[in-house]
Amino acid sequence: MNNTIALSQTTRITDTINQLATFTEPERPHTRLVFSSEFEQARLWLRETFVAAGLSCHVDAGGNLVGVLKARTDEPCPDKVLLGSHIDTVPAGGRFDGIAGVAAALEVVHYLNTNEIKLPFDLEIVDYLGEELNVWGTSCLGSRHMAGLITSEMLERVDPDGRKLGTEIARIGGSGGTSEEPRSDASQIIACLELHIEQAKSLEKQNLDVGIVTSIPGIYRYSISITGQAGHSGTTTMTERRDALVAAADIIQGVSAIANQIAGADNQHFAATIGKIDVFPNGAAIVPGQVEATLDLRAASDHSRLNFFAEFENLCTQASKSRNCEINIKQLAAAAAAPMNDELMKLLATAAVKTGVSSTKISGGAGHDTAHLSRFAPAGMIFIPCRDGLSHCPEEFTTSEAIAKGSLVLIGCVLELARRTSLTRA
């Protein structure tokens, strides 16, 4: 393959990034929440771009936008390779999280088109629906659907504006129904590949082009509901108070301390965050009667997660007793850690060597669609550096050259998969 990055390629990548960046809430760049009008407009643009690249497009039952580059016509019952990422963003997010992976996937298609290469498998370029955590409390909607992990309970959730999740998925072209099994063609999928910005500093610090991801950590989310008693801030004596916010403060401090301890003791990634908290009635002259908070856990091993939980339970019991509040914990989401496919890791590493792209093995801290895809098909992922490790903020940045280098690795991997597939069939 041709390993050099043409100026036309980086120009095209820059153009894709810039075009998608125009679809944002104007007052709050870069905001393209799933199901928003900005998201729908971006999808329309992306669909046109897919078609212009020779892909035949459809929205699947999970609401994923899929562009298919068909296999050579002489191939019977072709295998499939999935390549993609996501174009939705968090509120006031960045221009590259997810988008870089879609741009890189398009580069693979351009390479194949330019070199008139026909593959022995269908190549599906996917914009996975709603990867970012949404107001309904679920991330990775599209990849979860593919993996058979969308339940009726999730679809029935209603946001503060009265929008039901299932209805929204149907509105953008999905079925809006549950998925209890992985995709029916799962056995035909020989690889799911994704490029993503690292969202941390390790590649940048080591001055490396690409990280070959070894595993995606498990992600667990819980609601913490604390019930005390609201009352007059002037007349409720300090000893009578059942202040839910003070109990929440105990828990927030405690979670941070426990997580620090576990992250320090365990070599594998562990992080715990209480990043969302609502106080009721939320008045300056009222003792807080109710707090709703969300705990987010990232754990590369079950061992560290279980350790955390043992201590967390003690912490809640203590806070409940000392603040005279009732505390209820409910699991909102759980996704076990997802190791990447060994063979694909090797192929990606070899492709990096062959294309002169420097690489290292790496494990991430964020969740990705590929974690869900890995439950039903071989999955591999690469990271590219992003400036100062910043992500989920407007300062998020990587270069078109970095995306181009990453796409070279994807191209190398796809070509090797094609060679092997042809060999097996011969």
Give the binding site for Zn ion (CB under 5 A): 97-98
**How far apart are the C-alpha atoms of 279 and 266, rounded to whole Å?**
34
CB-CB contact of 224 with 327 (8 Å): yes
* Minimal distance, residue 330 CB to Zn ion, in Å: 26
* Minimal distance, residue 197 CB to Zn ion, in Å: 8
> Backbone phi, then psi, for 184, in 5-degree steps?
-65, -25
Q: CB nearer to Zn ion: give 97 or 198.
A: 97
Q: CB nearer to Zn ion: give 291 or 371.
A: 371
Q: CB nearer to Zn ion: give 176 or 367.
A: 367
Identify which of 110, 102, 109 has the alpha carbon closest to the alpha carbon of residue 84.
Answer: 102
- HSE (side-chain half, CA atoms, 13 Å) at 245: 14
* Minimal distance, residue 86 CB to Zn ion, in Å: 6
| β-strand pairing of 189-197 with 379-384 | parallel
What tokens does 202 get?
């390790």
* Minimal distance, residue 216 CB to Zn ion, in Å: 11
* Minimal distance, residue 289 CB to Zn ion, in Å: 37
By CB atoms closer than 10 A (0-12, 13-18, 19+), residue 235 is exposed
Q: CB nearer to Zn ion: give 78 or 98.
A: 98
Identify which of 47, 52, 182 has the alpha carbon closest to the alpha carbon of residue 126.
Answer: 47
* Minimal distance, residue 93 CB to Zn ion, in Å: 9
* Minimal distance, residue 209 CB to Zn ion, in Å: 19
Q: CB nearer to Zn ion: give 106 or 415.
A: 106
Q: CB nearer to Zn ion: give 304 or 363.
A: 363
Q: CB nearer to Zn ion: give 97 or 250.
A: 97
Q: Which residue's Cβ lies closest to Zn ion?
A: 98
Q: CB nearer to Zn ion: give 170 or 271.
A: 271
Q: CB nearer to Zn ion: give 133 or 262.
A: 133
- HSE (side-chain half, CA atoms, 13 Å) at 247: 31
Q: CB nearer to Zn ion: give 291 or 384.
A: 384
* Minimal distance, residue 130 CB to Zn ion, in Å: 11
* Minimal distance, residue 290 CB to Zn ion, in Å: 33
By CB atoms closer than 10 A (0-12, 13-18, 19+), residue 398 is buried
* Minimal distance, residue 94 CB to Zn ion, in Å: 9
